[in-house]
Structure 1
Amino acid sequence: MIMHTYGREGAPVILMLQPMGISAEMLYKILGSKFKGDYHILIPDMGGHGDEIGEFISADIEAEHALLYLKAAGISEIALLYGASIGAAVALRMLDVPELKVNNIFLDSAPVARFGYAVRKAFGPAVRMQRAVYMKNDVKMKRQVEARWGKELGDHISRNFEAFSKKTLTNMVNSCAQGNMPSIPQEQQRHTFMEWGGNDVFARISPKVVSYLYPDVNICVRPGYQYCEFMVKYTDRYVAFLDKIASGKFEYREKRGESAQLKSSPCPAG
């Protein structure tokens, strides 16, 4: 893991953990650079991404590397822990460390639920097959990626997806499929926000698991949206909401179990 830093050192810290296929530099460009508040933003290149040429081994190891960096930097409190997709898996693994104070959490496409054995066994080969099909139909598939993510981000994701080693791709898929269910205290649940696109594979089970295990977590499922799609289509609104959360200005109810019925929507307006 190679950590990239932005903003004023000494300001409230935002740690951003990227979706699969997006480098730290690109995540800062599309999200981090749009924060209005005064923050010290940390974004790592995890294994297989950006400047990190090493393999992605597991969410546990990436979480350990991030925690070691924070400790070495003397950072014991984070204003916002943001994670999307594989980044959300890593973020969830970081929550098992009580020494780190995390004031607010936002997870997009969080792979919380553990897939069944048969699905876990099939998930990795299915993703690798998808990449093989992609590379055989390079032009056609790239157009589809660009249509979904835009040309710049689509090209970026395509290059990274092609460059992933079999080991890195398999390990990232396994880190998502095996489930990530840390202990989250009630007060921290009330400052935790999770959202999924309704057509995201993780939206089939994870929101139900979250509602059961973490009744005070703020949940949003966006009907008709794909994995991380809202983030790309409505970036300004998305970041404005993250900014609101990080600054502590988000309003939520006091009563346990009413996390889905907040004073204001737990998701960016769209």
Structure 2
Amino acid sequence: MKFIFMGEKDKPVIVFIHGMFCNSDSNKHFVKYLKDNYCIIMPTLDGHCGDETIYTTKEEQAKKILEYIKNKGIKDIALLQGSSMGAQVALEMVNQSDIHIKNVFLDGGPFFKFPKLFRFIMYKKFVAMVKMIQKETDIKVIRNDIIHNKFLKLLIGKDTKPYEELLSEMCIVCNSMKLESIKNIIETCYNCTLPEFHSDISNRITFFFGKEELAHMSKRRLIKKYPNSIFRDMEGFKHLGYQTRQPMEYAKILKDTID
């Protein structure tokens, strides 16, 4: 696991956790509007660093991030933000943490618990996409192939242009992705057991979805489990669509959440 640490510890601390097949750079389009006023911590999860590490479980990833934060002498987090699979890791951090986390903002988290057969099908789909990426060395060619991938369009929509930079980073990450990591990623995303929280914790959590994204279908399960949490839907947006298409406005929402 690798970390980017920006700013001074005496400023309010924000921790950003990226999604599957991404890295800490995937946050930079909205982090640039926050970095001057906050202390920013951005891990790149195991298996996503371009090295030999393997993504294992959300529990282990959460533990490593919390250990890093403690070693920095940080005792309070103003905002913990997770995108897609990173939302799952962030929720597990809340479950494990004895650090005070003031606000939690989970964007597009796939909080599903699907049967084994479905998870196997999703594994095959993602393996096929990663292998397609690993066959080609030219990032532009790979990105063009991914943009026309039917499964990806189902996730992010037909207008893929705003995602081009994110997809380029995804190509770099996937180039060194191991099959074991993919298997474990699928378990995190589609075999999710929701932790128990007291209401004073769950009411600090915002679940944020694009109304048109597939992950939105897990909202009903979340409302049943965490009725005191905050739920926000953005009409007309697909997976991580608001942070990708409206990064300045997204940064303002995060700032307002802290304030």
Answer whether TM exceeds 0.5 for this pair.
yes
Aligned residues of 1:93 and 1:180 also touching (Cα < 8 A): no
- Measure how far apart 1:197 and its partner are: 2.4
1:143 Cα deviation after fit: 4.4
Quote the offset at 1:229 in angstroms. 1.5
Contact 1:37 1:243 in 2 (8 A): no
Contact conserved, 1:95 with 1:182, CA < 8 A, in 2?
Answer: no
Higher relative contact order by CA 8 Å / sep ≥ 6: 1 or 2? 2
CA distance, structure 2, for counterparts of residue 132 and residue 199 of structure 1: 28
Q: What SS is found at the alignment partner of 1:95?
A: helix
In the alignment, structure 1 residue 195 sits paired with structure 2 residue 208? yes
Could you say which residue in structure 2 is the equivalent of 1:241? 253
Residue 154 of structure 2 is aligned to residue 141 of structure 1: no
Report the RMSD for the aligned CA atoms in angstroms.
2.4
Shift of residue 106 of structure 1? 0.3
Aligned length in residues? 245
Structure 2 residue runs without a partner (length 5+): 136-140, 153-158
TM-score (normalizing by structure 2): 0.84
4+ residue runs of structure 1 moved beyond 6 angstroms? Answer: none
Q: Is the 8 A contact 2:48 2:174 kept in 1?
A: no
- TM-score (normalizing by structure 1): 0.81
Instruction: Please tell me whether the aligned partners of residues 80 and 103 of structure 1 are also in contact (alpha carbons under 8 angstroms).
Output: yes
Residues 80 and 101 of structure 2 are in contact (CA less than 8 Å); yes or no, is this contact kept in structure 1? Answer: yes
**Cα separation, 2, equivalents of 1:162 and 1:224:** 32
- Structure 2 counterparts to residues 32-111 of structure 1, below 5 A: 32-35=31-34, 38-50=37-49, 53-111=52-110
CA deviations 1:90-128 (Å, max 9, x no partner) are 111111125121100100111223123332232212221
Does residue 1:177 correspond to 2:175, yes or no?
no
CA distance in 1, matches of 2:161, 2:119: 26
Query: How far apart, CA to CA, are the structure 1 residues paired with 2:132 and 2:89?
Result: 28
Aligned-residue identity in percent = 21
The one-letter amino acid paired with 1:80 is L
Q: For structure 1, which segment, 174-183 or 120-129, has the greater mean C-alpha deviation from structure 2 after superposition? A: 120-129
2:172 equivalent to 1:168: no
Distance in 2 separating the partners of 1:134 and 1:25 = 19
Q: Which residue of 1 aligns with 2:222?
A: 210
- Structure 1 residue 43, shift from structure 2 partner: 0.5
CA distance in 2 between counterparts of 1:246 and 1:180 reads: 27
Q: Is the 8 A contact 1:64 1:94 kept in 2?
A: yes
Q: Distance in 2 between matches of 1:32 and 1:10?
A: 18
